[in-house]
Structure 1
């Protein structure tokens, strides 16, 4: 009889803590499952040892007759406690460490939305902090639950069972690659259509197809610009010419004024000798006054051409900032020179004073001829 009992005992395998065994689910309860693991007592798989994530019901994860790899976490003659999450974790850590070392991108399904971020099941609990979910600010994370995201492992601590993931890192990597591609295609000297992204005191940043270039304030217009907002506004479309591309430092220098006719080109088209135009006195010098006719184009009114009377200095007649009418005497766009005169307009005005006009008939019905005729008759 004793011999038969000993033979029966030998049909069960011995178990030790840390052993990985293959077991079959024999019964599923709400908070645990019973497992046939070839031991003298049925093993227990608690719900807490089912997954690294929170599980509401056992049947959401395991079913009767499922065959699982499980780790022994407690064993006595009367009790065998098993863990699925420990086996999953061991496999996962080896896999995660390899992917972390090789900076690989992995796909994960968001299992839950928690305070501060998202949780994913990697065999171990992976956490995506809110700041690493997206490049843009996210107001509501609920739409991410159940979504599949490509992520990078940015922190891995096996001892403390800590895995930090980042979807933003993948987005940044893709954006940088796209930026490199765009930088590789941009050519110096070419003109592009761009959008003003933001203004600073020293210029404007313009998006030209996915990368931003800087239009320095000196390149915004041919005339002097006090602040970029005087010339362009955020969101506006502008044509820009690429001055230079520094691919190593990802810097692009752009120019708006290089796409526009220069002020002297416009002067050659708009000003002709003899034209009378209005301008603003910009500067007074001992030998005359400089009058701005077109933004960036100033003409000289020599002191001898300021007035038809003799003056000692231009400020006897003119003030800086004053608007005046001038006559164009000469235009030399290639030498950036325009000669002007105010005196000629004064002379012209004097010569054009109207002569006294007499009416043929006054209000009484008498004409000048009638009066003179009467006088002549008396003399005769």
Structure 2
């Protein structure tokens, strides 16, 4: 009777032993740590042992397996493969890491299906993008990092960023993420709010976000506006980078808002004092100023005496000697001293003279005296030549010179008429 009972107990014990298969999730108790490189565990319900290598003990790199587990710990494990050919069951290769990864993949899959995002840390910069730790390895292609070109991707290393899940394939350990999608969504939300508050004509503060050859993009707090190069300063600006820096705070005036095209035109120079304001005090008649030759035409030279303020030195006011063209004696960019002859603030015009500051050569002074003596002994002619090259003036459109024909030769004609009376 006792023998029968013993046999029955043995049979029941054998029948209660669960069969272990590759891919099964099992529980195991740590029985020993072998050379700090692997853990020996007993598989519950199977009556057999398994091995967990150091690299399979955690989802993170482990230098000493004893830092992670100790004898007596209970672990959830997945069966990777069978070791040896022991017909009695033998040992199995087990993994904590792969079971954790499987759970992570399941969680990420659920987040993906629900349309949720995830936050992960950038661990590596590789050719073509970024590697992130989302519990499992994720990859961010360079084109999906942000909404503009970034030359050095190392600035993102070790940053924790929010990502949209673009593609997930657990069987191939492929997880493709995008931070650009998050940036664009945030900007779209911010743009709507900011656009509602913008009013043409208002002056607001912004931050220089990007510089191009044609202008500067200024962040207004969620939406960028463009300051064209012509609207940066009253002075001529060759390149925006000559006068502005990325990150610089600037005041801008809102010129236009196109909500349909998400375009905002801005101006920096229109927030600055108008160059011609107070010009009568800054450049009164008779004042001597230093200026820069900005443009040369057939009828004279335009000289900038203050930023954004140019005056005309007519060809007759360049030198005492006769000159064919201003190019004969002046060069663009040259510094010159000028005397203010006339000021017309309402028309933004200055009449200037260079020769008024130059002593007349002795030979010319004597010649002028002789000519004056001759004129006093002869009747005045009905028509006298003056110092104005009328043909060159007539061919110069008013919008180019800033002066009308009457402005340029009026005084000379008046003097001629007076002499005829």
Given candidates 7, 25, 32, the residue that maps to 2:39 is: 32
Runs of 5+ in structure 2 lacking a partner?
A: 360-421
Partner of 2:385: none
For each residue in 1:221-242, what CA deviation from the matched residue of structure 2 results, as whole angstroms up to 9, or x when unmatched?
A: 2344444456556676543323
- SS of the residue corresponding to residue 104 of structure 2 reads helix
CA pair 274-211 structure 1, distance change in 2 beyond 3 A: same
TM-score normalised per structure 2: 0.57
* Deviation for aligned residue 1:214: 3.2
Given candidates 95, 99, 106, the residue that maps to 2:107 is: 95
* Deviation for aligned residue 1:102: 3.7
Query: In terms of Rg, which structure is larger?
Result: 1
Written as runs of structure 1 = structure 2, the 5 A alignment for 1:235-250 is 238-245=250-257
Given candidates 41, 66, 75, the residue that maps to 2:74 is: 66
How many residues are aligned here?
Answer: 334
Greater helix share, 1 or 2? 2
Runs of 5+ in structure 1 lacking a partner?
A: 348-380
Partner of 2:52: 46
Structure 1, 83-92 or 213-222: larger mean CA deviation: 83-92
For each residue in 1:20-59, what CA deviation from the matched residue of structure 2 results, as whole angstroms up to 9, or x when unmatched?
A: 46535162333233325223x3232433654455554267
State how far apart, in whole Å, the 2-side matches of 1:306 and 1:139 are: 58
State how far apart, in whole Å, the 2-side matches of 1:128 and 1:317 are: 63
* Deviation for aligned residue 1:256: 2.0
Is this contact kept in 1: 2:205–2:220, CA < 8 A? Answer: yes
Question: Does 1:297 pair with 2:310?
Answer: yes
State how far apart, in whole Å, the 2-side matches of 1:34 and 1:76 are: 19
State how far apart, in whole Å, the 1-side matches of 2:165 and 2:185 are: 16
State how far apart, in whole Å, the 2-side matches of 1:269 and 1:227 are: 32
CA pair 24-178 structure 1, distance change in 2 beyond 3 A: same
For each residue in 1:49-108, what CA deviation from the matched residue of structure 2 results, as whole angstroms up to 9, or x when unmatched?
A: 544555542672364152646558559533363554454344333222122334433356
Is this contact kept in 2: 1:289–1:314, CA < 8 A? Answer: no
Partner of 2:21: 17
State how far apart, in whole Å, the 2-side matches of 1:317 and 1:38 are: 103
State how far apart, in whole Å, the 1-side matches of 2:95 and 2:251 are: 65
State how far apart, in whole Å, the 1-side matches of 2:21 and 2:347 are: 95
Runs of 4+ in 1 over 6 A off after TM superposition: 129-136, 305-309, 341-347
Question: Does 1:157 pair with 2:163?
Answer: no
Written as runs of structure 1 = structure 2, the 5 A alignment for 1:234-273 is 238-245=250-257, 251-273=263-285
C-alpha RMSD of the superposition: 5.2
Is this contact kept in 1: 2:206–2:221, CA < 8 A? Answer: yes
CA pair 328-69 structure 1, distance change in 2 beyond 3 A: same
TM-score normalised per structure 1: 0.62
* Deviation for aligned residue 1:258: 0.8
